[in-house]
Structures are given as C-alpha cells and as structure tokens.
Amino acid sequence: MAITFIFFLIAARLLYVQVFWSGKLKLRAFDQWNREIPIIAQRGKITDCNGSVLAGNQTTYSVFLRPNAVVNAEYTATVLGGIFGKEPKEILDKINGGKISEVTVARQTDKASIEKLVSYDLPGVYYSRDNSRSYTYGETLCQVLGFTAYDGSGVAGIEKFYDSVLSGADGEITYTTDIVGIETKNPEIIYREASAGDEIRLTVDIDIQLSAENAMKSVFLSSGAKSVSCVVVNPRNGDILAMVNYPSYDLNEVPRDDMDKLNALTRNGTVSDIYEPGSTFKIITAAANIEEYLRGNPKAFSNSYVFNSSRTRTVDGTKIKCWSTHANGKHTNQTLATALNNSCNPCFTDIALALGKDTFYDYLQNFGFGNVTGIDFSGEALGMLVPRTAVRDCDLARIGFGQTVAVTAVQLACAAAAAVNGGNYYMPRLLKSVISADGKTVADNQPVLKNKVISEQASRILAEMLEGVVKEGSGKHAYIEGYKVGGKTGTAQKYEDGHVAQGKYVSSFVGFFPADDPQYLALIIVDEPQGTYYGSAVAAPVAKEIFGDIIEIKGLTPFE
C-alpha cells in the first residue's frame, strides 16, 4: 500500500513537472544557455507644428557584463574602470558577488569608448546601442517637453504624457552560450528587430515660442520678478502656439542630483499653478453681461448704461474700492466700455450682483472655471472657485473683478479666447498629429469644441470694447499702429496666510489680434515685479513685443 502511494506521488510529480511546469523550465533553460543583447528602439522625435525637431536622439551605447563568463575578474575590472571612469573595486565586487547574473557597467557612453573596449576583447563583456535624448533648443520649452530617464523612458512633460507613443518596442540579439554564459564556437543567432517610436508633432510654433521666451526673459530680468509665464493660443481652434515658464533649465543638462531644484524648474506653472487673476477676469464678467442683455435679461446692463460714479460699494458689510481715487471727475459717466478702459472694480461688482449667483455661476462653469480644461498634459490644476452653494454676495462681488477666484494660465487664456472668437470654447491642445517612423500620419488630433459660451454678436461687441482698452484705456502699451489689438490688463494683490502680502502683486495682460477676427491671443503673467507693478506698465508691453514678432514672422500686413 505504501509503495503504491509513493508510486502515485512520484507519477503526479512527474506529470506536474512535464506538463504544468514545462513552460517555465524551458524558459530557464533558454536563459541559461543563451545570452541576450538588447536592441534599444529609436525613440520618436518631438517636433513643432512645421516639423522642426525639438527633441531627437544621439546614438550612444550601454555596456554590460556577465560575471559567470568573466575569465580574469581583476583585469576586467581594471580595464572597465579605466575606460568608463568607474572605481575598479566596485566592478570587481559585483563580478565576485555571485548574486547578479548581469551587471550594467555604463549607459549612454560614446563610440570612442566602445572602440577602446572592443580592442581588449574581454570575455563576458558586451555592449548594445541605446539612445541619448538631444534637445535642439536647450532650455526652450523645457517644462513642456520634459525629459527622459537614463533608460529612455519619459519622466516629465510631453516625454511622459506620450511615452507609449514615443518609446517604440525594443528588440534583441540572442546567442547560444555554454552553462556559464560563454559564447559557443558556432553560436545560433536569433535577431528580433526593434520598432522605432512614433513622432509627436506639437501645435507649438518654435518661432513664436522663441519670441515669447526672449520677451519673457527680458521682463523677468528688468522687473526683478519672482517668475514669469506666458501662453500664446490660437483662438480659432485651441492650439497652444507657445508656452513659457521662467526661470527655466537646459534640457541637455538636467539637474538630476538636486531634487528640490529639479522639481521647481521642471514644473509647468501655466498648467499646474493657480493665481488670482484680478482685472483680466473682467473679460468674463463683461461677456456674461453683454450676452444676458442681448437675451433680454432685465437685470443685465445695456451697453449705454451709466454706472454709479461712487468709488466704493459696500456688500455684506465689506467695502470694495476702486484702484482710482475718482478725484477730479475721473471714472464718471462710465459705460461698460469705459469701465473696461478704466478697469473700475465697482462697475463689475454691480454686474455680478445684478446677474445674481445662479446666472453668473452658469457662465463661470461654461467658461471652464473650477474645472480642468482637458489639455493633454499631466498635473493640470482645477483652479479655485467658491462652491455655488457657499458663495455669499460679498464673494460674488469680488469674483466680478477677479478676486476670490483662482485660475491657471491656460484656463484663463482659453476662456478669454472663447469670449472674443465668436463664443466658441475649444479644448486646448499640444498634440497636432502622430507620425510613424516611415513618415505616415497615423493620428491627426482634431480641434474639440467643448462649449458655446456666448453668442457671436456678444463676442463681437466685447472684442470691440477690448480693442478700445488698447486704443484708449489701460492697455495702450500694447497698441500697434495699423493692427487691431484688443486686450485687458490685470494687477492683483497676493495673499499669504489669508492676508494681503504688502508689496506683492501679480501683473498680467490678456491681448489678442486682429480684434475683429482673432488669430493670436497671449496671456502674460509677471509674478511679484519690483518697483512698477501695474499690468498696464509691466505686462502689456511684453504682449506688444510678442505680437510685433508674430507680425514679422508670419509676414502679416496691417489690418486697418
């Protein structure tokens, strides 16, 4: 009986090994009697909208060793240490460690080092081609493009967001070896080709990007600001034409050894950071009022309505003041157009309160505030909007002129674009198309119309008013003779620990042209400029510089 039981036990074990475990055992045997040399796939390029290469590749090499196949450990460690600048003892310890079947000696090394390695013909040492990422313009667009890890995978930015598209599929060369990993005399060679990654073509125009970067660097240095940022968008379809954050860093020299510095410099603040917009938000309040008036809402103000000329409004016991003293007859007889010109806070307080919480919040929601835009980039912030159920009249009053609300740069740029482009809210996008290694377009990323925020008529009226702001009002430093430029300035106080931070402001400007058919819109943000801090003086001239460059780059003729 016992013998029968043992027999069945052995038979069951044999059945398990031969049937259920056979696959794993074959793989172990294959790995034991073969050596694999990886073939790293060529990573896809990242290009601008015209095909200019922003991120490409340089051919480099990785070096490996198999401790079991090394013949002279000390000699091998000494040679490898000398060629690749490594400590020989560290390599020797890995060879003699007995726990690692394969050791990586060097990555992304140059051809000269490989030629020197080959001359020594070291048993157990081999190399394969890999790729080093190369960024054509260094620090330009650095927070958008992102960078890769040593193994070639995307770590940040577009490199990370579209890593699966860019990375391709690695291949390998397999050689037969003996039990310790030494290549046999007549090895059987199996070659599996690598598949190159696809090209990511962005909506970004490198010429406009370079212009925006130069302009933002200049204002950063001249204003002594903490940081500056800029978004240039095509209002017709949501294409991001330029995106700038400064200070920046060189993508070809990523500060990997300083994590705090790396995290600070690689953050795309235009997407991930929020700020209180101040008077640039009056574009949205004005848009809501104009649309409601055209719809026949009796609570909305007509374009000819003259606002109360008092400098202050008191709401829920809170006094709201205009930035101007209203002395000597200033800010009197203001219509909506002149209130925009003068950026008079009380007038926009009146509009928000007159429209009421529900109506005004419907517009805020439709314009995308308190929610993500859906841009194809990781880490997008929601912004901050007081919940509709919790908002008080004093909150509503301040939201009307851009306080008690926080937005991202891309959020405000897209909302402003929708307000002046005919009322069409397009999802912002960085991806234009995906192109295969053989040059075929495999995906064409079409514009996405998310919402109709206001009517074309309301949008046209608003754009005309904002053109007046640049011609006659606070945005006159963005005026370009012969071109219809519209815009709105903003100067917002900063808060720290719930209190106004004395002497700290965010200066901004939203500009667009041509005003009667917007093709380009730019949002300029200057954080904590020193000395002069008004958006009209600090930010508006930057938009003028960028628009002037675009006119020259695109060969645009005067519109008027």
End-to-end CA distance of the chain: 107
The per-residue pLDDT for range 256-315, each reduced to its tens digit, is 888 888 888 999 999 999 999 999 999 999 999 999 999 999 999 999 999 999 999 999
Question: At the topology level of CATH, where does 206-554 sit?
Answer: Beta-lactamase (3.40.710)
Q: How far apart are CA 279 and CA 341, in angstroms?
A: 11
* 3-state DSSP percent of the chain in helix, strand and coil, to 5: 40, 25, 35
**Which pLDDT score is estimated for 501?**
83
Q: How far apart are CA 346 and CA 373, in angstroms?
A: 30
Mean pLDDT of the chain: 90
CB 124 within 8 Å of CB 89: no
3 state SS for 319-378: EEECCCCCHHHCCCCCCHHHHHHHCCHHHHHHHHHHHCHHHHHHHHHHCCCCCCCCCCCC
The residue whose two tokens read 């931070």 is 501
CB 501 within 8 Å of CB 495: yes
Q: How far apart are CA 129 and CA 16, in angstroms?
A: 41
Helix pair 282-294, 409-420: axis angle to 10 deg: 30
Statement: 58-129 belongs to CATH 3.40.50.2020: no
Across the range 331-359, mean pLDDT stands at 96
E strand or H helix at 433: strand 431-435
Residue 17 has pLDDT above 80, yes or no: no
Q: Is 317 left (phi over 0), alpha (psi -120 to 50) or beta?
A: left
| Proportion of the chain above pLDDT 90, given as a percent | 71
Q: How far apart are CA 107 and CA 129, in angstroms?
A: 9
Considering only CA atoms, which of 528, 523, 554, 552 is closest in space to residue 540? 523
Task: State the Cα torsion 210-213-216-218 to the nearest 10°.
Answer: -70
- Asked which of 247-261, 303-317, 407-421, 490-504 is least confident by mean pLDDT, the reply is 490-504
Domain residue limits, the chain: 58-129, 206-554
Q: How far apart are CA 284 and CA 289, in angstroms?
A: 9
Residues with active-site annotation: 279
Residue 39 has pLDDT above 80, yes or no: no
Angle of CA points 456, 282, 484, to nearest 5°: 55
CB 239 within 8 Å of CB 429: yes
Please indicate whether residue 264 or residue 341 has the higher confidence score (pLDDT).
341
| Helix, strand, or coil (residue 112) | helix
**Those residues with Cβ within 8 angstroms of residue 210's Cβ, 6 or more apart along the chain or in another chain:** 137, 140
Across the range 212-229, mean pLDDT stands at 97
Q: How far apart are CA 437 and CA 439, in angstroms?
A: 5
- What type of residue is 486? G
Which of the listed ranges 175-184, 327-336, 423-432 does the model predict with the highest average pLDDT? 423-432
Categorize the per-residue pLDDT at 526 as very low, low, confident or very high, splitting at 50, 70 and 90.
Answer: very high
Categorize the per-residue pLDDT at 495 as very low, low, confident or very high, splitting at 50, 70 and 90.
Answer: confident
Categorize the per-residue pLDDT at 6 as very low, low, confident or very high, splitting at 50, 70 and 90.
Answer: low
- What type of residue is 439? G
Paired tokens of 2: 């016992």
Residue 425 has pLDDT above 80, yes or no: yes
Q: How many CA atoms does the CB half-sphere of 149 hold within 13 Å?
A: 7
**Those residues with Cβ within 8 angstroms of residue 460's Cβ, 6 or more apart along the chain or in another chain:** 422, 516
**Which pLDDT score is estimated for 199?**
97
Q: Calculate the alpha carbon distances from 407 to 36, 225, 382, 498, 560 in Å.
A: 52, 20, 8, 17, 34
CB 372 within 8 Å of CB 382: yes
Residue 183 has pLDDT above 60, yes or no: no
Paired tokens of 460: 């046209």
Predicted model pTM: 0.87
Paired tokens of 68: 């079991």
Residue 197 has pLDDT above 80, yes or no: yes
The per-residue pLDDT for range 49-94, each reduced to its tens digit, is 999 999 999 888 889 888 888 889 899 999 999 999 999 999 988 8
The per-residue pLDDT for range 111-167, each reduced to its tens digit, is 999 999 999 999 888 888 887 899 999 999 999 999 999 888 999 999 999 999 999
Q: How far apart are CA 133 and CA 222, in angstroms?
A: 34
Q: Cα dihedral sign for 111, 113, 114, 116?
A: positive
Considering only CA atoms, which of 114, 117, 75 is closest in space to residue 95? 75
Categorize the per-residue pLDDT at 466 as very low, low, confident or very high, splitting at 50, 70 and 90.
Answer: very high
